Amino acid sequence: MFDWTYIDSNGEEVGRSKRFPNLESAEDWIGSSWQDLVEWGVEEVVLHDRERDRRMYKMGLGAE
C-alpha cells in the first residue's frame, strides 16, 4: 500500500491521500492530481510504502 503525504510551505504535514495498492497507481494519481493540490496550498508531497514502512521519495509540485 502506498500513499502521499502533503507538505505546505512551512514544511508542515497538511494531509494525506487515499491509499493505493501499488506504486504505479499512486504515481498515476499524483500525475493527474498535482495541480489541484497546488491550488490547496500543497507545495511538496512524500510517497510512502506503508507495507515496508519506508519513505520512497519527496517531490516538489512546482508551486511559486
Q: Is the pLDDT reported for residue 62 higher than 90?
A: no
The predicted-structure confidence for 26-48, as pLDDT tens digits, reads as follows: 999 999 999 999 999 999 999 99
**pTM for this structure?**
0.91
CA–CA separation, 7 and 59 (whole Å): 10
**What would the grid cell of residue 43 be?**
507545495
Among 13, 12, 6, 2, which residue's Cα sits nearest to residue 39? 6
Bridge partners (DSSP) of residue 49 are 2, 54
